[in-house]
Amino acid sequence: MARTASLSGFPEWLPEERLVELHVLDTLRRVFELHGFSSIETRAVETVGQLLRKGEIDKEVYGLSRLQDDDAADAASHKADPNALALHFDLTVPFARYVVENAGYLAFPFRRYQIQKVWRGERPQEGRAREFTQADIDIVGDGDLPFRYDVEIALVIAEALGALPIPDFLLRINNRKLAEGFYNGIGLTDTAGVLRSIDKLEKIGPAKVAELLKSELGASDEQAQAALKLASIRTEDTSFVEQVRALGVSNELLEEGLAELEQVIAAAVQRAPGKVVADLSIARGLDYYTGTVVETVLVGHEQLGSICSGGRYDALASKGNRKFPGVGLSIGVTRLVSRILSQDLAKATRSVPTAVLVALNSDDSWGAAQDVAAELRSRGIATEVAAKAEKFGKQIKFADRRGIPFVWFTDDDGKHQVKDIRSGEQVDADPATWAPAPEDLNVRVLKA
Amino acid sequence: MARTASLSGFPEWLPEERLVELHVLDTLRRVFELHGFSSIETRAVETVGQLLRKGEIDKEVYGLSRLQDDDAADAASHKADPNALALHFDLTVPFARYVVENAGYLAFPFRRYQIQKVWRGERPQEGRAREFTQADIDIVGDGDLPFRYDVEIALVIAEALGALPIPDFLLRINNRKLAEGFYNGIGLTDTAGVLRSIDKLEKIGPAKVAELLKSELGASDEQAQAALKLASIRTEDTSFVEQVRALGVSNELLEEGLAELEQVIAAAVQRAPGKVVADLSIARGLDYYTGTVVETVLVGHEQLGSICSGGRYDALASKGNRKFPGVGLSIGVTRLVSRILSQDLAKATRSVPTAVLVALNSDDSWGAAQDVAAELRSRGIATEVAAKAEKFGKQIKFADRRGIPFVWFTDDDGKHQVKDIRSGEQVDADPATWAPAPEDLNVRVLKA
């Protein structure tokens, strides 16, 4: 990408770049639908009260006000008004609201995918935009949700990511019950605080995390070391269970977490080999996760940050006594596509959908040319008609400049020929039967 | 739709309603790509200065401010700051900005489609939401743009609308040059003012429009009557030309407009019979149109307002001396989909993408069931696996509740059977070869 966004943090793609993004979106949709996920969209706008319900994230939120509204509140009072409108910053919180509002119309467990833009007012940097697209899948139950869905959703995401034109990836999976049980077992009770500190491991390193645990959470040196030891465990199979047990901590919640994570990893070893690890350093910042937690790195692009994150949330959505536990994962589409484009990891085979340009013989031949085009289109061949009867050389040049591979000629006697302008080969052709080679029919996106 | 949006003006669809919307969006995309239009998206956000560049529309615009920004301006100063951010209210103004910014990277004439949400802070009512999806096609030239594209774009839109599960529609087409030339010819020089008055014809009727023309624009009774006579002309063929000439006004611009509109209507009579009329009452409110103008009604649903509007704009985008004239049309997707849903004009054949539920024989059979599912999916059959080994009756009921037509059973000996739960028919099946009937493979959306 030679270009920079004209508004920092709000990337826009050129048409040939957009083809790569479309390919990513189409691929994800296909995999999600093959696994029975229904599409929904939620409005871009939530109330401030809804968005801030689950913790301290208001730093990132864009508030809305009608420019012409003379009573419009200023930003300060906007923040204070829970009914004020703001743009959503993820798709999980809006989805939880949607489920609660429409519970009477949904069949549970409800499986949905949702591909939409979200907005965060953070400082833009590589891999972090202010406007970006997320692709989420979630399964939500009414009352309870079998743990098996945690396993399934990890496998679906591994399949979806595997279908994209991206380098190898690795799902790093942990379980909050395991971590919380362990911390409780060693006598650290502010588990949210410990998780927040552990979440900083990659940024500040183990020594500083130990400092934090001691200074901010009153951990002893021993407790801090035990927490760090747990976070250092990372296995490609279920051997993490033994390694955790070897730390000699016993706690019921810990056992539950171990059993859950073991199920996920055991299934992944079999069904998505090499794509998943148990990584006990994964904490996830957001408060609403209650079990499985996932982050995903692109191998060789670790500094890009997680390209797919999420987990289990048992208490995000509820309606009176009715609870809607869920599990879901969110792919950072813009982050992925930015990387694909900036490092030329994949490319479209041409820059326009058009396969054929029908050239004009004379200005009067426009109607006849439209007839040819309509016949080709009726067989799925994307076709344009030239607007001016310029010299053929000029019309061919026009096709070349737009990246259109074939030019169609009809002479005054109604004889048709089609030219592959890449090879120069020109052959007789019948608009009712001619077709380009299958690889030229539609734009394809190929991994570099 | 029994439900009302939880936030007035921000509609959200249930999964089976979203299937109808997806069908509409997929159909439009397919037609647009077959005609060689490239997909682009622009950011949701523009600067206030950019949005208000072309006239008085700030009433409708949502301004943005970061909730956490302590220096955030209040709404009043926000309005005054041309660099403040706001949500786009259409896709034409952002597209013009995109073309100017990326002119060096685009091949002209540049054909693009753009399907995105836009926002307007207007009072919500039937057919008018605050958040809604538009599907636009435009062709933009560098320096000049042959008039032929005006003809083409009307035909593409007629084809696209014709492919949707909607009632008959009618493109009502006029030409600003024709109208302006005529007004000039009868001595009315504030043509923008006359157009604004004529634009109110359907709302307030001819008598009141005549009043307006006289009181606000200083028209004589004769001039007002002539302007109304012009606006009363409506023909299904090119006979409007004679009718206009019969009014005895001569003006160069008028002749140019007549010739242009004649071209569009002549082509439409031939290539989209019954879908297009010349309607000289069409004015379009927006200032940037310079030639062809289009509005579209759904026959029998006229009070819904225009479902597809646009026209020619020769001066919307420019970069120094370089001009980028364009022509485009915009389909109101949300308006259409709302109407389809509220009047049951079309319906999805089922409510989920899933064709097959693989039942569980025992809790241990989940892995084997996943194998069956993977084999079906590899052949494009959307498949879910049950999460719990409940009684078969319960698993069938689960499929029924979710709208899944087939349930797959594998007994302990590995014998496979599949049941069509609509007919009750159950047959032996091989996961490597079985397929549902073509009409059951994917969700289809059928016109009522």
Determine which of A37-46, A128-137, A280-289 has the lowest per-residue pLDDT on average. Answer: A280-289
The CA-based angle A246-A250-A253, given to 5 degrees, is: 120
Residue B2 pLDDT: 47
Q: Which residues of B touch A75 (CB under 8 A)?
A: 65-67, 69-70, 72-74
Residue A78 pLDDT: 59
Q: What's the CA gap between B134 and B125, in Å, rounded? A: 17
Q: What's the CA gap between A393 and A418, in Å, rounded? A: 14
Name the residue of chain B whose CA is nearest to A376's CA: B34
Task: Determine the angle formed by the axes of helices B333-342 and B15-34, rounding to 10 degrees.
Answer: 140
Closest CB to B36 among A74, A354, A366 = A354
Burial A105-129 (b: 16+ CB within 10 A, else e): ebbbbbbbbbbbbbbbbeebeebbb
Q: What's the CA gap between A172 and A302, in Å, rounded? A: 12
Every domain range in chain B assigned CATH 3.40.50.800? 356-447
Nearest to A136 by CA among A25, A247, A226, A238: A25
Q: What's the CA gap between A109 and A152, in Å, rounded? A: 13
Q: Which residues of B touch A7 (CB under 8 A)?
A: 43, 45, 47, 85
Which CATH number is A15-41+112-347 given? 3.30.930.10
Q: What's the CA gap between B327 and B138, in Å, rounded? A: 6
- Percentage of chain A beyond pLDDT 70 is 95
Residue with tokens 């397919």: B30
Q: Which residues of A touch B43 (CB under 8 A)?
A: 7, 10-12, 131
Mutate to test the interface with B, among A3, A32, A67 (most CBs of B within 10 A): A67
Average pLDDT for residues A188-213, to the nearest whole number? Answer: 92
Query: Are the Cβ atoms of A36 and B380 closer than 8 angstroms?
Result: no
Q: Which residues of A touch B36 (CB under 8 A)?
A: 352-354, 382-384, 404
CA distances from B143 to A113, B140, B176, B190, B317 (A): 44, 9, 20, 28, 10
Q: What's the CA gap between B431 and B29, in Å, rounded? A: 33
The predicted model scores a pTM of 0.95
Q: Which residues of B touch A19 (CB under 8 A)?
A: 38-39
What's the ipTM? 0.95
Name the residue of chain B whose CA is nearest to A113's CA: B15
Domain B15-42+91-347, CATH homologous superfamily name and number? Bira Bifunctional Protein; Domain 2 (3.30.930.10)
**Band of pLDDT at residue A307, cut at 50, 70 and 90:** very high
B380: its two tokens: 């494009």
Q: Which residues of A touch B37 (CB under 8 A)?
A: 353
Name the residue of chain A whose CA is nearest to B33's CA: A353
Residue with tokens 């900005």: B97
Residue A236 pLDDT: 97
B373: its two tokens: 């599912």
Size of interface A-B (CB pairs under 8 A): 251
pLDDT in tens, A23-64: 999 999 999 999 999 999 999 999 998 887 765 555 589 999
Kindly tell me if the per-residue pLDDT of A148 is higher than 70: yes
Tell whether the torsion through CA atoms of A114, A134, A97 and B46 is positive or negative.
negative
Closest CB to A36 among B117, B366, B382 = B382
Determine which of A407-416, A421-430, B78-87 has the lowest per-residue pLDDT on average. Answer: B78-87
pLDDT-flagged residues of chain B (< 50):
1-2, 72-73, 75-76
- Percentage of chain B beyond pLDDT 70 is 95
Kindly tell me if the per-residue pLDDT of A76 is higher than 90: no
**Band of pLDDT at residue A80, cut at 50, 70 and 90:** low
Is A277 in a helix, a strand, or coil?
A: strand
Kindly tell me if the per-residue pLDDT of A312 is higher than 80: yes
Closest CB to A353 among B14, B33, B366 = B33
Every domain range in chain A assigned CATH 3.30.930.10? 15-41+112-347
**CB contact at 8 A, B113 and B38:** yes
Residue B56 pLDDT: 55
Is A181 in a helix, a strand, or coil?
A: helix
Q: What's the CA gap between B208 and B206, in Å, rounded? A: 6
Q: Which residues pair with A406 in a beta bridge?
A: A356, A420
CA distances from A428 to A389, A410, A422, A433 (A): 21, 10, 17, 11
Give the 3-state DSSP-derived string for chain B, with helices as H, strands as E and coil as C: CCCCCCCCCCCCCCHHHHHHHHHHHHHHHHHHHHCCCEECCCCCEEEHHHHCCCCCCHHHCEEEEECCCCCCCCHHHHHHCCCCEEECCCCHHHHHHHHHHHHHHCCCCEEEEEEEEEECCCCCECCECCEEEEEEEEEECCCCCCCHHHHHHHHHHHHHHHCCCCCCEEEEEEEHHHHHHHHHHCCCCCHHHHHHHHCCHHHHHHHHHHHHHHHHHCCCHHHHHHHHHHHCCEECCCCHHHHHHCCCCCCHHHHHHHHHHHHHHHHHHHHCCCCEEEECCCCCCCCCCCCEEEEEEECCCHHHCCCEEEEEEEEEEEECCEEEEEEEEEEEHHHHHHHHHHCCCEEECCCCCCCEEECCCCHHHHHHHHHHHHHHHHCCCCEEECCCCCCHHHHHHHHHHHCCCEEEEECCCCCEEEEECCCCCEEECCCCCCCCCHHHHCCCEEEC
Determine which of A57-66, A159-168, A173-182 has the lowest per-residue pLDDT on average. Answer: A57-66
| Of A67 and B46, more confident | B46
A157: its two tokens: 């995401």
Q: Which residues of B touch A370 (CB under 8 A)?
A: 155, 271
CATH topology of domain A356-447: Rossmann fold (3.40.50)
Neighbours of A77 (CB within 10 A): 11
Please state whether beta strands A383-385 and B426-428 pair in parallel, antiparallel, or not at all (unpaired): unpaired
Average pLDDT for residues A124-136, to the nearest whole number? Answer: 92
Query: Are the Cβ atoms of B41 and A13 closer than 8 angstroms?
Result: yes
ω into A146 cis (within 30 of 0): no
Residue A288 pLDDT: 84
Nearest to A162 by CA among A268, A15, A262, A312: A268
**CB contact at 8 A, B188 and B219:** yes
* Phi and psi at residue B53, to the nearest 5°: -55, -35
Q: What H or E segment, with its residue span, contains residue A45?
A: strand A45-47
**Distance from A198 to chain B by nearest Cα, in Å?**
26
